[in-house]
């Protein structure tokens, strides 16, 4: 039995909610810090790298409650959301992602180095883990091609996570191996179909909306095979209220983390039914 933890995108409040939920599940007796595979997209790539970095979940949770020093505030405004939604237009998904990527390349943002430093500051370790296998998703800004990196890809972990978190039109596309990349969430908020070969899959999805059917988490999980057992965890109404409307607001991180921790008690049984090796 191979277990995968799929960690979806959702901004800095999504990071807080996911870590809060994971710490709460661990406190309930679930070994969620011992997956075989971790798939990280955008915010989930940060959480995945942190989870695989050897820092105890309780410590990661406490860090989410501390003042968010070193973070850059931003806003997911109507213009950005409109362009993200436009990737659902047309038959060619890759071409639609490329159009968005080209807009991102022309956008005025903070310098790459400044944004990369923020991502580096979030990670306790900057080396890929030996175990579990960590997969980080991103999208080529020029071609729209979706990519998935791991420790054998020849890409630094900080660069991979920074690229996966490069929200187009908000943050700069990140340079990796001479090419520029944008947020892996442009393809799918979870990229759950990357958990191939896994028989048990737990998805933490701060955001479940999809502009294309192919990006829906239910459809992606179905593509893994009929015998795969999976559960999708999403924020409840109280957690959504705690996170607020701007997922990129560092000031809401602690509230989102506390909401995730609280919600863990409600989700523990459903997660255990998938995650527990004895079931």
Measured CA to CA in angstroms, residue 274 lies from 4, 73, 174, 235 at distances of: 10, 36, 36, 19
Interacting residues of 16 by C-beta distance below 8 A, sequence separation 6+: 64, 243, 252, 253, 254, 255, 256, 257, 260
Closest CA to 236 of 21, 5, 12: 21
**Which member of 23, 42, 45, 188 is catalytic?**
42
141: DSSP letter: T
Task: For residues 232 and 207, give the distance between their C-alpha atoms in angstroms, rounded to a whole number.
Answer: 11
Q: Per the omega criterion (within 30 degrees of 0), is the bond before 64 cis? A: no
- Does the annotation mark 188 as catalytic? no
- Does the annotation mark 31 as catalytic? no
**Which member of 183, 188, 193, 249 is catalytic?**
183
Residues in the chain: 279
Catalogue the active-site residues.
Answer: 42, 183
């Amino acid at each position: 039995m191979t277990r995968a933890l799929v960690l979806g995108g959702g901004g800095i409040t999504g990071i807080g909610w996911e870590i809060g939920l994971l710490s709460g599940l661990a406190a309930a007796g679930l070994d969620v810090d011992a997956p075989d595979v971790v798939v990280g997209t955008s915010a989930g790539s940060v959480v995945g790298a942190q989870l695989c970095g050897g820092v105890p979940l309780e410590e990661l949770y406490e860090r989410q409650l501390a003042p968010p020093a070193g973070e850059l505030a931003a806003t997911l405004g109507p213009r950005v959301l409109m362009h993200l939604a436009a990737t659902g237009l047309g038959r060619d998904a890759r071409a639609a992602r490329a159009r968005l990527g080209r807009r991102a390349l022309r956008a005025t943002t903070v310098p790459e180095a400044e944004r990369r430093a923020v991502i580096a500051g979030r990670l306790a370790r900057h080396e890929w883990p030996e175990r579990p296998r960590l997969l980080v998703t991103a999208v080529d800004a020029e071609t729209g091609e979706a990519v998935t990196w791991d420790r054998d890809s020849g890409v630094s972990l900080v660069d991979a996570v920074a690229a996966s978190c490069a929200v187009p039109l908000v943050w700069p596309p990140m340079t990796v191996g001479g090419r520029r990349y944008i947020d892996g969430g442009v393809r799918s908020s979870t990229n759950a179909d990357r958990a191939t070969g896994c028989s048990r899959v737990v998805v933490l999805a701060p955001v479940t909306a999809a502009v294309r059917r192919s990006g829906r988490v239910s459809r992606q999980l179905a593509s893994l095979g009929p015998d795969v057992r999976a559960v999708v965890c999403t924020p409840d109404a109280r957690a959504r209220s705690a996170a607020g409307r701007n997922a990129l607001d560092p000031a809401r991180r602690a509230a989102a983390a506390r909401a995730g921790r609280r919600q863990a008690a409600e989700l523990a049984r459903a997660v255990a039914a998938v995650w527990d090796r004895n079931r």
